[in-house]
């Protein structure tokens, strides 16, 4: 990856945890298997007491297909053993890359979110099989959009304002029908707070005027970083999902 704006494919499978005693072992097995792959930007798991989310992204649709072939048997075993239950699968990326993925993920009931606008990324390059272990603190908001023309004008400004922030990994938007996801990640809790300081007033106005409606907000990251975000997240009913383990394989252009 060479700094092209939001041209990667991310997968967001959400599970219910049925057997807490076995979920950590299952996650570790999938992480170790994924470390053998070439096209991974980042991969890991976050959780609440009852919900598990895999946070993962790949350089393109072909890398996603190879990942599914690689990790599929481990995931299937965990599902069949009653360790976890798949609740939803969202896949985000450019339309042409989603088409590559669909034959493998349609049977899983996947929803496909196409990238829109000129998103930004400071992820400059991949590092093969080396793990950089960068801290990632992510916001995962899902909105309903009643009026796309009005919303898209605001999205352009959100992106423009975020492009000047100092602690952002990537930032952009994807859509499916009337649903909008902001795909974003930061170096730290402070980075996300910086982003809210820049964009919070505009977001508040968009919500008040009904341009977009917040359906759910999840904040993802290490426990110590989530602690920094509790006060800011409370007014939005944010769900805190704590990092369990994983790896990153991208450098950052600054």
What range does the domain containing 225 cover?
A: 9-252
Query: What is the pLDDT, as a whole number, of residue 254?
Result: 60
The count of domains in the chain is 1
- pLDDT < 50 positions in the chain: 1-5
Query: Is residue 210 domain-resident?
Result: yes
Query: Is residue 67 domain-resident?
Result: yes
Query: Is residue 26 domain-resident?
Result: yes
CA–CA separation, 88 and 40 (whole Å): 21
CATH of the domain at 77: 3.30.70.100
Query: What is the pLDDT, as a whole number, of residue 4?
Result: 43
CA–CA separation, 98 and 130 (whole Å): 26
Query: Is residue 2 domain-resident?
Result: no
Query: Is residue 4 domain-resident?
Result: no
Query: Is residue 115 domain-resident?
Result: yes
Query: Is residue 1 domain-resident?
Result: no
Query: Is residue 65 domain-resident?
Result: yes
C-alpha 254: how far from its chain's center? 22
């Amino acid at each position: 990856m060479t700094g092209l704006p939001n041209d990667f494919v991310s997968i967001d499978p959400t599970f219910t945890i049925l057997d807490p005693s076995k979920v950590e072992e299952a996650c570790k097995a999938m992480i170790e298997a994924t470390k053998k792959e070439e096209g991974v930007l980042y991969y890991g798991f976050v959780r609440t007491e009852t919900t598990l989310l895999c946070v993962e992204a790949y350089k393109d649709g072909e890398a996603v297909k190879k990942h599914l072939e690689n990790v599929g048997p481990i995931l299937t075993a965990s599902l069949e053993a009653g360790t976890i239950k798949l609740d939803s699968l969202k896949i985000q990326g450019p339309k042409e890359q989603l088409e590559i993925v669909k034959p493998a993920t349609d049977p899983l009931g996947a929803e496909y979110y196409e990238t829109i606008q000129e998103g930004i990324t400071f992820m400059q390059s991949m590092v093969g099989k080396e793990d950089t272990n960068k801290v990632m603190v992510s916001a995962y908001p899902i909105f309903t959009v009643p009026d796309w023309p009005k919303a898209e004008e605001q999205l352009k400004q959100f992106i423009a304002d975020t492009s000047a922030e100092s602690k952002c990994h990537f930032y952009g938007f994807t859509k499916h029908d009337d649903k909008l996801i902001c795909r974003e990640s930061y170096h730290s809790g402070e980075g996300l707070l910086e982003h809210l300081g820049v964009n919070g007033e505009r977001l508040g106005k968009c919500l008040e005027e009904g341009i977009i409606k917040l359906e759910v907000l999840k904040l993802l990251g290490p426990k110590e970083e989530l602690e920094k975000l509790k006060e800011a997240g409370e007014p939005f009913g944010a769900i805190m999902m704590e990092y369990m383990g994983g790896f990153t394989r991208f450098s950052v252009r600054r």
